[in-house]
Structure 1
């Protein structure tokens, strides 16, 4: 039960923060979903950092991983919104922005995860 509560608290906090950031940064004038892009990149960075720390001498407890890794990062990042935004760009026949957004999200997300993992090694 304690594990579910940790995931619930982290997930709720991450979801609320994602809502605030995306609402503020996803402008109706822009075709690029910067808010979603930013939260996904930050979530990759944080999760990579947490996993790197946990593998380094077990310096992150299982409870912290549930709260921040599973809960917060799971609620903060959003693949379903990313999928809908990609579909919207395709439906609007905005192919150039589709490829920039999709490619940028995947490549920078992977690099951010690796950077987070690398940064954890410095601690």
Structure 2
């Protein structure tokens, strides 16, 4: 493949495989009933959002990352680790078994917690490293 895109895709694929295996392991270790709150998926998605905030500060504000770090960790590992599709299916399953409160709490709670986690990851990493957010002109 021209321009190293094979290497790039390989890094993303390897990272995605690692993230997906970790997520699957957590889902197996912490199962839930269809009408129950899916804590494993919730924890995976929120922790993945926290980690993407941490990662983005490190690779954009703290140090210059090698070319494949962002695709491997950000797209691959964290992309394979987090799961919007499982989140959507679990909301639908909760509705299907007659647990609309659980579905709504999970639907809204995941969104709020995930966005909060990204912000927290960014803020805490900047505080810990002394990095300063670069604002773009314009």
TM-score, normalisation: structure 2: 0.82
| Correspondence for 1:44 | 49
| Correspondence for 1:74 | 79
Aligned residues: 123
Query: Residues of 1 paired with 2:101 and 2:35: CA distance?
Result: 14
1:32–1:97 Cα contact (<8 Å) kept? yes
Between stretches 49-58 and 86-95, larger displacement belongs to 49-58
SS in 2 for 1:26: coil
Between stretches 89-98 and 108-117, larger displacement belongs to 89-98
| Correspondence for 1:35 | 40
> Cα RMSD between the aligned structures?
1.6
- Whether 1:116 aligns to 2:121 is yes
Distance 1:30 1:86, change over 3 A: closer
Q: Please, which runs of 5 or more residues in structure 2 have no aligned partner? A: 1-5, 130-138
Between stretches 96-105 and 11-20, larger displacement belongs to 96-105
- Whether 1:26 aligns to 2:31 is yes
Query: Residues of 1 paired with 2:98 and 2:67: CA distance?
Result: 45
2:34–2:94 Cα contact (<8 Å) kept? no
1:50-97 deviation digits (Å, cap 9, x = unpaired): 112222154433311111100001100011110000011111221111
1:26–1:36 Cα contact (<8 Å) kept? no
- Whether 1:87 aligns to 2:92 is yes
Q: Which has the larger radius of gyration?
A: 2
Q: Please, which runs of 5 or more residues in structure 1 have no aligned partner? A: none
TM-score, normalisation: structure 1: 0.91
